Amino acid sequence: MTFTRRAIMRTIAAGLSAAALVFTAACGSADNTSGDDTATDANDITQLTVTPGTLTIATGDPAYEPWVMNDDPESGEGYEAALAYAVADKLGFDKDHVTWVRTTFDSAIAPGAKDWDMNIQQFGITDERRNAVDFSSAYFKDTRSVIVKKDGKYASATSLADLKGAVIGATVGTQGYTYAKEMITDDVQTFNDDASLAQALDSGQIDALVADTTVCVYMVSSEQVKDGVVVGRIAGSEDKDGMGIVLPKDSKLTDATSKAVDALEADGTLKQLQDKWLAEYTSDLTELK
């Protein structure tokens, strides 16, 4: 009987030791998983996306020049399209592992879950928007300008005061709307996108529109507004914080994306891309004060 009891006790002790080892191993495994979740090197970043191994980038529908040429972001042509691929490369994604999707401007900066990893379509960085989404470091600082019709009542405007009484339009949620409201009139007609805004001026629904200077120059050069003219740039309208890439709120990619943009600025890539794609859109214009 004594022998049997001792054998039983040894068996129980061995079982307890094995259980302790299993528990310790399980704890170690959980700790390793946590470490993977917080890692920030490129190999780990590629697994933190909506679709692991693929970077899903959103832009406007349509996307306009000079930001995206021919509404074809996959080509990598245009300032934002080229920049997006440069950022993707810094994060560890080659071109074959980048997927593009389309969204509206407003939905991109609205609170809530997103089905993309980043969104690039000239989003001005503001504290209000930071409540709903994250931003990368700024990649460009634009100004706001005014377009009127060449044969219209306001074609000779050389100051903001000359636009008094004009029906002003801007795209909702943009810096153009903000500056139009703050510096020209409280009564700004809003439109859902730049195409609708250009059409409103072209059809005579509004007398003038306010938008980013690059957008205005393109609207005139591409004849989205027929017989339109950029009468000038609004003085003091340069972005204070600039344009940033939008990411979902508290995205695990935000810090790495900002570091990528900062690196591209430091090595001269941003300037090279701006010189290539934006030079003709940022020429000197009359300042409207």
Per-residue confidence (pLDDT) for residue 184, from 0 to 100: 97
Render pLDDT for 190-217 as a digit per residue (tens, 0 to 9). Answer: 999 899 999 999 999 999 999 999 999 9
Per-residue confidence (pLDDT) for residue 97, from 0 to 100: 98
Helix, strand, coil percentages in the chain from 3-state DSSP, rounded to 5: 45, 20, 35
- CA distances 266 to 50, 55, 84, 259, 272, Å, are 29, 23, 16, 10, 11
pLDDT beyond 80 at 222: yes
CB atoms within 10 A of CB 9: 10
Per-residue confidence (pLDDT) for residue 29, from 0 to 100: 37
Average pLDDT, the chain: 87
- Structure confidence at residue 12 as a pLDDT band (50, 70, 90): very low
Say what the pTM is.
0.70
Instruction: Of 198, 222, 45, 225, give the one whose Cα is nearest residue 118.
Output: 45
Render pLDDT for 268-278 as a digit per residue (tens, 0 to 9). Answer: 999 999 999 99
Per-residue confidence (pLDDT) for residue 43, from 0 to 100: 56
Domains of the chain: 44-140+242-288 (3.40.190.10), 144-234 (3.40.190.10)
Per-residue confidence (pLDDT) for residue 252, from 0 to 100: 96
Per-residue confidence (pLDDT) for residue 23, from 0 to 100: 35
Instruction: Of 139, 138, 120, 96, give the one whose Cα is nearest residue 247.
Output: 120
Instruction: Of 80, 73, 126, give the one whose Cα is nearest residue 240.
Output: 126
Render pLDDT for 122-171 as a digit per residue (tens, 0 to 9). Answer: 998 999 999 999 999 999 999 999 999 999 999 999 999 999 999 999 99
Contact 117, 55 (CB under 8 A): yes
Mean pLDDT of the region 106-126: 95
Per-residue confidence (pLDDT) for residue 3, from 0 to 100: 38
Which residues on adjacent β-strands are paired with residue 149? 228
Per-residue confidence (pLDDT) for residue 240, from 0 to 100: 85
Judge residue 39's burial from the number of C-beta atoms within 10 Å of its C-beta, 0-12 exposed, 13-18 middle, 19 or more buried: middle
